[in-house]
Amino acid sequence: MFTTLISVTQLQSMQTSGVPLLVLDCTFDLMNPAAGYAQYVEQHIAGAQHADLDKHLATHDPALRVNGGRHPLPQREVFAAWLQSVGVNQDTQVVVYDRNGMNYCGRLWWMLKWCGHDAVAVLDGGLKAWMNASGALASGAEAAHAPGNFALREPLVKLVTTAAVSGHLNDGTQTLIDARGAPRYRGEVEPLDPVAGHIPGALNRPFNTNLNADGFFKSADELRTEFTALIGSAKPETVVHHCGSGVSAVPNVLAMEVAGLGRTALYAGSWSEWCNTPGLPCEKS
């Protein structure tokens, strides 16, 4: 079972092993939401289904969401029904990827853990690595899988609310890490949300810092050294990750787990919910 990263070679071996397997392409474009599916149709890993951030990994129906912000998580029951519809079974090894620096596929990785399914891994290097290794490709829409028997289990990850982050803002029990780019974190620019800046006390680690020059996750030792330097004397189990809307924070969650620092928490509402909540402090620096 693969639970964090999977290499191209490992995925290719799994495809011929007979192990129950489902590959999901999470390609997306924040500035052009329709482009992700169009890119998938143009070219994807053979056999992969598409998972859309706006349609499948978030909901904009207030009655079905569990948090605020720009990409609210759907209720676990809603997401579980979608997993069943694309063919996820209790014993399925899920592999997720994108062509966006393993950003959007991280969201699906985390959501499966949130629904109690540990057998999910991110394809290290994404579609580029697959193509560089001459992996099989296809175009067009794939035939739908038979419905799966996926059922919700206890969450394997921790979801943190705005109230919880606010309540522990000054008591030293949480260590906030913001995954947005440094200019957004400092409040110099803000292309997406109505207020610029960051949650007071948050540390900054842009999500793409986890990758090396070739687009793969850095080694466990490198990641451990970098995160340890970032959080200083704080304990890893106090870390709460966030970003703009709860998506690009997940590569930091994954990186800390790869580094052997444990499975840390996610504040999914992130800056987009925080800065839209009356009375909460915002900081620039």
Active centre residues (catalytic): 243
Q: How far apart are CA 99 and CA 107, in angstroms?
A: 14
Q: How far apart are CA 272 and CA 70, in angstroms?
A: 6
CA separation, residue 24 to residues 7, 44, 46, 101, 107 (Å): 15, 10, 10, 15, 12
Asked if 267 and 182 count as a contact pair (C-beta separation under 8 A), the reply is no
Read off the tokens for 268.
């999914």
**Encoded amino acid at 233, one letter:** S
Q: Which of 169, 163, 160, 99 is nearest to 129 (CA)?
A: 99
DSSP state of 74: B
DSSP state of 73: P
Helix (H, G, I), strand (E, B) or coil at 127: helix
Give helix 250-258 / helix 104-114 axis angle, nearest 10°: 70
For residue 150, count other CB atoms closer than 10 A to its CB. 25
Q: How far apart are CA 152 and CA 142, in angstroms?
A: 26
Asked if 93 and 19 count as a contact pair (C-beta separation under 8 A), the reply is yes
Q: How far apart are CA 246 and CA 187, in angstroms?
A: 18
